[in-house]
């Protein structure tokens, strides 16, 4: 059975271009994003990792650490970071896991249990290793998404999803479609009108089950 939302992620010990680390210890009390890709020195993934590097200040503002995953080795990661920084125009200060034995890829259900890496592999051999996992300070999986090789991930959306997760978990609200910071949020149906008034103040009842309000401070 693969990981599901609210499952605790496995506390794997992994090798990265910045040394060995334990996933749980590395996350600590922070939010974390683990993002994977099939192979170093490939075009779409280089633009994606460059986008992550460019957003370093935004991750930090939100108390979120980021870590990459690839089935290539540490030395390839170190060399590839030069390309990432050239494309992204920013320092790639985050670690990248060298998942050469596929432990992380299989533990996060990105590859089947019987998967292996053939000699002379291409990115297609690890194509499904192209996912995003957002993890809370409680080490539980909060969100996951997987993209095909030909479509670059939108890290603006990852950032927006992180904002929504942080708002919903800390304020007891939900967020509507396309929500951005500063916009109205949704009061959960489990909260009565009376309790909603006491907790959130004024709210708009668009439908009996759809009530919108300002995000509490």
User: Mind spelling out the 3-state secondary structure of 41-107?
Assistant: CCHHHHHHHHHHHHCHHHHHHCCEEEEEEECCCHHHHHHHHHHHHHHHCCCCCCCEEECCCCHHHHH
Neighbours of 210 (CB within 10 A): 12
64 is catalytic: no
- Answer yes or no: is pLDDT of 12 > 90: yes
Q: Could you tell me the pTM of the whole model? A: 0.91
pLDDT at position 150 is 86
- Answer yes or no: is pLDDT of 16 > 60: yes
Indicate the pLDDT class of residue 19, thresholds 50, 70 and 90.
Answer: very high
- Answer yes or no: is pLDDT of 112 > 70: no
pLDDT at position 130 is 81
The answer to whether 71 and 100 are in contact (CB under 8 A) is yes
- Answer yes or no: is pLDDT of 114 > 80: no
19: left (phi over 0), alpha (psi -120 to 50) or beta: left
- Answer yes or no: is pLDDT of 41 > 80: yes
Which is catalytic among the residues 34, 45, 135, 187?
A: 45
- Answer yes or no: is pLDDT of 1 > 70: no
């Amino acid at each position: 059975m693969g990981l599901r939302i609210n499952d605790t992620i496995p506390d794997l010990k992994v090798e990265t271009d910045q040394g060995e680390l334990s996933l749980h210890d590395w996350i600590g009390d922070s939010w974390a994003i683990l993002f994977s890709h099939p192979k170093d020195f490939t075009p779409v993934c280089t633009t994606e990792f460059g986008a992550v590097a460019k957003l370093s200040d935004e991750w930090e503002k939100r108390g979120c650490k980021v870590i990459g995953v690839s089935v290539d080795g540490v030395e390839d990661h170190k060399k590839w970071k030069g390309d990432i920084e050239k494309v992204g125009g920013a320092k790639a200060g985050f670690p990248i896991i060298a998942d050469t034995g596929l432990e992380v890829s299989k533990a996060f259900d990105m590859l089947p249990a019987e998967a292996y890496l053939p000699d002379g592999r291409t990115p297609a051999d690890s194509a499904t290793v192209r996912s995003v996992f957002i993890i809370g300070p409680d080490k539980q999986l909060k969100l996951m998404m997987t993209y095909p090789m030909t479509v670059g991930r939108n890290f603006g959306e990852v950032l927006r999803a992180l904002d929504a997760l942080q708002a919903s978990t800390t304020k007891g609200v939900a967020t509507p479609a396309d929500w951005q910071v500063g916009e109205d949020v949704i009061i959960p149906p489990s909260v009565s009108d009376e309790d909603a008034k006491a907790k959130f103040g004024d709210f708009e009842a668009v439908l009996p089950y759809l009530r919108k309000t300002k995000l509490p401070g």
